[in-house]
């Protein structure tokens, strides 16, 4: 019998600077009984993101991570999605417009929210210290999670892979 997915953690990032002309990265984790059941991560270039010749923003990759996480869940799933992006929280809860987000991703987001059941969205404090993790929250009162740290690590890894893939053979001078 497979474990029921209780929580999903989603995170996004960009390569080098925000917004990035190189692209960004995303990651999500499915968690049950305080264990990772499944995780996925990847990167996206401006052209893949729907911004040919443009840039990819952190707000785009944060939302992309959440949408990809929702797409990986079964129909009717109910649970909690954790993000360290307040903009993504607002977009997922319907209290924010989708400015700067290409129409295809906006439609995917709305379709996934309609497909799954009730999704509670919780804002986490990003980049916690060890002390924050031990306490379970940052000094500003936001909760923190080792699973969000893992998603952030995956984003960093994918961003570095994307940047390295764009280096000329032999590396930078």
CATH number of the CATH domain containing 152: 3.30.420.10
Q: Pairing mode, if any, of strands 119-123 and 79-83?
A: parallel
Residue 79 placed within a domain: yes
Residue 21 placed within a domain: yes
Percent of the chain with pLDDT strictly greater than 70: 96
Mean pLDDT of 129-134: 97
Total domains, the chain:
1
> Domain range for residue 18?
7-165
pTM of the model: 0.94
Burial code (b: 16+ CB inside 10 Å, e: under 16) for 128-152 equals beeebeeeeebeeebbbbebbbbbb
Residue 2 placed within a domain: no
Q: What is the pLDDT of residue 96?
A: 78
Model confidence at 1: pLDDT above 50? no
Residue 1 placed within a domain: no
Q: Which are the contacts of 67, defined by CB distance < 8 A and separation ≥ 6?
A: 105, 108, 109, 112
């Amino acid at each position: 019998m497979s474990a029921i997915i209780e929580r999903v953690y989603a995170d996004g990032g960009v390569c080098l600077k925000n917004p990035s002309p190189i692209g960004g990265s995303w990651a999500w984790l499915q968690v049950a009984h305080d264990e990772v059941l499944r995780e996925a991560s990847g990167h996206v270039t401006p052209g893949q993101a729907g911004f040919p010749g443009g840039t990819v923003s952190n707000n785009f990759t944060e939302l992309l991570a959440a949408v990809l996480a929702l797409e990986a869940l079964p129909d009717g799933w109910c649970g909690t999605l954790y993000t360290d992006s307040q903009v993504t929280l607002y977009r997922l809860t319907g209290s924010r417009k989708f400015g700067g987000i290409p129409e295809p991703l906006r439609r995917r987001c709305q379709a996934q929210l309609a497909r799954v059941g009730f999704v509670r969205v919780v804002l986490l404090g990003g980049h916690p210290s060890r002390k924050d993790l031990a306490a379970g929250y940052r000094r500003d009162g936001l909760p923190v999670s080792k699973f969000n740290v893992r998603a952030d690590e995956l984003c960093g890894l994918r961003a570095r892979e994307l940047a390295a893939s764009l280096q000329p053979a032999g590396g930078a001078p």
